């Protein structure tokens, strides 16, 4: 009688046991590989820094946000363009999503805030508040790692940042205008452009801000009249939200068109680029979602060979945050920048203006600035200041107009 080979006498349970052991070994090896892979540690479990507090400081028409951590490092951000009392309340509520989180997970926290409430997603109040928080997170992370924010954005692409206004760069603008202007009304704006060109000379830059307040018919007439003065760009040619109007103007105006200050996030800027409706994009770091979104907008615009001319009416805090992005992107034109003696007593940035119309790169760590909290409290407590709505604008006939 012939007996089967010994291997054929393996009991089924023995075979299953061997298979189970092999599977366990494979699983263990996988777990070991996972543990050895730093990329798998998405929560950055090796870091113990955590967010412990958020304090919104209402100061006149804006809110300065301070975020604290258990490592004693604090970061600052600025919220503007929202009713201050509302911004402070919303930022305080958002702390629920930040409490105990690692502040260096900036993108994760940005997405968590943005996607936390579907009915508020993308709205001005939410995005402006996220912008201030985002600035503070970058500030903390830069301080923690001992570098300025622009180093974390890829490093500087330039040694200085061109700004306006300066002796060689002027922006003028217009208030509300009628639907189609008479020659004398158009001539007033034309003369303003002519005077600005004479002031800066042929080697200077003149920009004109229509403030979305010059209706398309009148804007076409005006743009044709100022062609000889070679302005750098015509800003906000139309009210945001109707890309077809921008396209129509772009087809008929031979002056570079710029806009974007009231368009939030990459999703707000995308239609202009995809429809070839703008020559220059103007994101505002404080309005579009902070440093994180402004950097993404710059990359998106780069794909369309469209430079940035950042809008900025923030104080030195939001302005400095914007400078870090401007320093780190390839396609950059010019940056809006103003001095404010009152708010300048609160925020002390570590950059300087140069005589040739530039600012130096920020020096230090994080945002590279100091906030004087005593001065902040003093300015914020001014009993003579009361926040007021900018209010509607009216035409000569009493009708409400855009601005």
Distance CA 33, CA 29 (A): 6
Task: Identify whether residues 168 and 271 lie together within a single domain.
Answer: yes
Chosen domain end from 147, 166, 188: 147
- Do the domain assignments include residue 178? yes
The pTM assigned to this predicted structure is 0.88
On whether the CB atoms of residues 292 and 110 are closer than 8 A, the answer is: yes
Is 165 in the same domain as 143?
Answer: no
Q: Tell which residue, 94, 156, 132, has the closest CA to residue 324.
A: 156
Distance CA 91, CA 76 (A): 13
Residue 329 is assigned to a structural domain of this protein: yes
Residue numbers in the chain where pLDDT is lower than 70? 1-46
- Which region holds residue 299: left if phi is over 0, alpha if psi is between -120 and 50, else beta? alpha
Q: 233 and 371 in one domain?
A: yes
Domain membership flag for residue 347? yes
143 lies in which domain range?
51-147
What CATH number corresponds to the domain at position 114?
A: 3.30.390.10
Q: Are residues 166 and 299 in the same domain?
A: yes
* Residue 103 Cα to chain centre, angstroms: 18
Query: Do residue 136 and residue 156 come from a single domain?
Result: no
Tell me the DSSP string of 160-187. Answer: EEEEESBTTEEEEE-----SS--HHHHH
The domain that holds 276 is classified in CATH as: 3.20.20.120
Q: Is residue 249 assigned to a domain? A: yes
24 belongs to a structural domain: no
Cβ–Cβ < 8 Å for 346, 59: yes
- Please tell me what DSSP assigns to residue 121: T
Say if CB 258 and CB 223 are below 8 A apart. Answer: no
CB atoms within 10 A of CB 119: 6
Average pLDDT over all residues of the chain: 90
Cβ atoms of residues 57 and 380 within 8 Å: yes
pLDDT of residue 218: 93
**Are 135 and 247 members of one domain?**
no
Which residues are the active-site residues? 211, 311
If asked whether residues 317 and 267 sit together in one domain, one would say: yes
Report the 10 Å Cβ neighbour count for 360: 15
Residues 197, 218 within the same domain:
yes
Q: Is residue 296 part of a domain?
A: yes
Domain boundary among 132, 147, 162: 147
The reply to whether 237 and 308 lie within a common domain is yes
Residue 219 lies in a domain: yes
Please check whether residues 214 and 355 belong to one and the same domain. yes
Look at residue 30 and tell me if it is in a domain: no
Query: Rounded CA gap, 7 and 3, in Å?
Result: 11
Residues 226 and 370 grouped into a single domain: yes
Total number of domains constituting the chain: 2
Q: Which of 84, 119, 147 is the last residue of a domain?
A: 147
Both 163 and 139 in one domain: the answer is no
């Amino acid at each position: 009688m012939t007996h089967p080979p010994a291997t054929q006498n393996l009991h089924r349970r023995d075979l299953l046991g061997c298979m189970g052991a092999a599977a366990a070994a494979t699983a263990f090896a996988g777990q070991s590989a996972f543990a050895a892979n730093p990329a798998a540690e998405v929560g950055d479990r090796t870091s113990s820094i955590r967010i412990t507090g958020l304090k919104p400081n209402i100061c006149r028409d804006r809110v300065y946000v301070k975020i604290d951590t258990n490592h004693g490092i604090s970061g600052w951000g600025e919220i503007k363009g929202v009713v201050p009392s509302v911004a402070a309340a919303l930022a305080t509520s958002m702390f629920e999503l930040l409490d105990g989180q690692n502040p260096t997970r900036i993108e994760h926290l940005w997405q968590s805030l943005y996607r936390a409430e579907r009915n508020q997603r993308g709205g001005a109040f939410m995005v402006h508040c996220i912008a201030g928080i985002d600035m503070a997170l970058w500030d903390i992370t830069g301080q923690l790692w001992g570098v300025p924010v622009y180093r974390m954005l890829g490093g500087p692409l330039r040694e200085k940042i061109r700004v306006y206004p300066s002796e060689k760069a002027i922006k003028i603008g217009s208030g509300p205008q009628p639907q189609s202007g008479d020659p004398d009304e158009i001539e007033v704006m034309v003369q303003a452009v002519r005077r600005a060109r004479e002031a800066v000379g042929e080697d200077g830059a003149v920009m004109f801000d229509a403030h979305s307040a010059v209706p398309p018919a009148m804007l076409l007439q005006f743009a044709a009249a100022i062609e000889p003065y070679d302005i750098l760009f015509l800003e906000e040619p139309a009210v945001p939200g109707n890309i077809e109007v921008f396209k129509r103007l772009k087809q008929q105006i031979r002056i570079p068109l710029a806009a974007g200050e009231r368009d939030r996030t990459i999703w707000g800027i995308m239609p202009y680029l995809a429809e070839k409706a703008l020559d220059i994009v103007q994101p505002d770091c404080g309005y579009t979602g902070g440093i994180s979104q402004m950097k993404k907008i710059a990359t998106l615009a780069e794909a369309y060979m469209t430079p940035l001319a950042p809008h900025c009416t923030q104080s030195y805090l939001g302005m400095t945050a914007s400078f870090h992005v401007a320093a780190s992107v390839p396609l950059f034109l010019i940056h809006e920048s103003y001095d404010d003696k009152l708010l300048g007593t609160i925020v002390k940035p570590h950059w300087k203006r140069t005589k040739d119309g530039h600012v130096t790169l920020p020096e230090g760590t994080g945002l590279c600035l100091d906030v004087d909290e005593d001065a902040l409290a003093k300015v914020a407590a001014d009993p003579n200041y009361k926040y007021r709505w900018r209010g509607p604008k009216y035409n000569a006939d009493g009708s409400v107009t855009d601005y």
